[in-house]
Amino acid sequence: MPLERRDGIARDRAAKDELHEQFARVGRALANPHRVEILDLLAQGERSVEVLAARSAITIGLASAHLQTLRRAGLVASRRGGTRVIYRLAGDDVYELLAAVRSVATGRIADADRAARAYLGEPVEAVSRAELLERVRSGDAVVVDLRPAEEFEAGHIAGAISIPLAELEAHLAELPAGVEIVAYCRGPYCALAPQGVALLRGAGRRARRLEDGFPEWRLAGLPVAAGSRPA
Amino acid sequence: MPLERRDGIARDRAAKDELHEQFARVGRALANPHRVEILDLLAQGERSVEVLAARSAITIGLASAHLQTLRRAGLVASRRGGTRVIYRLAGDDVYELLAAVRSVATGRIADADRAARAYLGEPVEAVSRAELLERVRSGDAVVVDLRPAEEFEAGHIAGAISIPLAELEAHLAELPAGVEIVAYCRGPYCALAPQGVALLRGAGRRARRLEDGFPEWRLAGLPVAAGSRPA
DNA sequence: CAAGTATTCCAAGGAATCGTAGAATAGCAG
DNA sequence: CTGCTATTCTACGATTCCTTGGAATACTTG
């Protein structure tokens, strides 16, 4: 084989290796459980390092380090907001990537499916986005956002009311009787909605969860709202 | 805070950590450049360890180890075929995951975009799948599969002819003059089609590449064929 | 400009991963 | 049953990643 040709192939291989190395950088960013959890949290809206650390139960220093790993991989971006640094997902494609990872995991790894069932409980019938949209229009259902208040404020399904799961029991009386309650939270792997539905049913209410969560609703282009919750 | 409540939260956190750990297993599988390349090769069709090792320029032992990492993560499956072990992608969702990783990488990491351009050359206008379908029906174009013969045999666009890139120059005369030549290969990050198009244009032919590659064509539900190429 | 605080940086130990080389295994073919 | 070959297993050093604790930095706010 002539030298020129061999050089061409070697150059090709080096460029190909470099490209795959770059792809693997994204894989490495997804290779740590804390980073996956942080991405899930950021899908609800932008957050400071401090809040992310608290919600994912790690130290601030560790959260900062993971956030910078994510930033180097292009998955998150940041801005300064007053005295703190606010991180956000770099784009909708990042959430779609996260969704693909979780879907493959639960669909293809038996242990992952088991872990999901252990955390979420056995899957129950969910309300589709289309059905919910219709029933809200006809006043046939009330939509409850079970996430922490700050996540509701950063963005929520238009017309939903905010009742963080911890406060749900105390606010049962505020929920109208007669109509079905549809609860939602962060996404398909968030335990708030299943737990809320179980609590509501235990209290004798008709309740179901919405399929998936707020990020999927927003990405579907359905009506959303933002801002503080009414007193 | 009552003990019962704290226990509940602690149990929750353990279950949540375990779930995120499972998600991260998939991320770890994508965290190595050789594994990414192997997935790209397997998207063309099932392959033995030996062939995968040769095509990705690594030793057999290393290929075997990576394949088992991928299998533990649920991304590939294997069967025994005669004297060899044949690996395949575990499902179409795995290719979609790979596509999401590569798309985020090139879209969000400047170095990755640079590496893609270095390997593939500057992007040129591609033929859409819909357009190609139409022009093949009207006999207005000829479709050339530039991948190695074995990948063509494992599955190709219906009506395409197989001319591996290395043989393209020698088979120029077989390509009809007058009609445009549409070349395709493994996917959007495969260099065969860009190189083939450059060669054809250098020989005075009208040539463009198909957008993406064979896996995307198949996943779009468009007509495919399999089997050895005509002599 | 000074004080306060959120975040980042740094150092270090321990764990996991990577790639190589060679031995061991498994299953087909004769 | 025996030989052959593709694949897997094992052991190892080198490298990278993870986490912690504390020091350093940067920026806002008054």
B12 touching A, CB under 8 A?
yes
pLDDT of residue A3: 34
Encode pLDDT of B61-96 as tens digits: 999 999 999 999 999 999 998 889 999 999 999 999
pLDDT of residue B1: 39
Exposure pattern of A68-90 as b/e (b: 16+ CB <10 Å)? Answer: ebbeebbbbbbeeeeeeebbbbb
Q: Which chain A residues touch B16 with a CB distance below 8 Å?
A: 37, 119, 191
User: Is the C-beta of residue B49 closer than 7 Å to nucleic acid chain D?
Assistant: yes
Calculate the average pLDDT of chain A: 93
Instruction: Provide the residue ranges of all domains of chain B, joining segments of one domain with +.
Output: 3-98, 123-225
B14 touching A, CB under 8 A?
no
- Give the nearest nucleotide to B78, CA to C1': D7
CATH architecture, domain B123-225: 3-Layer(aba) Sandwich (3.40)
Angle formed at CA B17 by CA A171 and CA A22, multiple of 5 degrees: 120
Please indicate whether, in this complex, the C-beta atoms of B33 and A24 are within 8 angstroms of each other. yes
Structure tokens at B214: 């064979």
Please indicate whether, in this complex, the C-beta atoms of B25 and A100 are within 8 angstroms of each other. no
Tell me the HSE value of B78 on the side-chain side, using a 13 A CA sphere.
Answer: 16
Task: Identify from B21, B36, B104, B120 which residue to disrupt to test chain A contact, counting A C-beta atoms within 10 A and taking the largest count.
Answer: B104
Quote the CA–CA distance of B27 and B34 in Å, as a whole number: 14
Q: B219 pLDDT exceeds 70?
A: yes
Structure tokens at B159: 């009506």
Active site residue A185: yes
Annotation: CATH topology of B3-98: Arc Repressor Mutant, subunit A (1.10.10)
Encode pLDDT of B138-172 as tens digits: 888 999 999 999 999 999 999 999 999 999 999 99
Q: How confident is the model at residue B12 (pLDDT cuts 50, 70, 90)?
A: confident
Task: Identify from A6, A19, A122 which residue to disrupt to test chain B contact, counting B C-beta atoms within 10 A and taking the largest count.
Answer: A19
Q: Which chain B residues touch A12 with a CB distance below 8 Å?
A: 119, 191
Q: How confident is the model at residue A137 (pLDDT cuts 50, 70, 90)?
A: confident
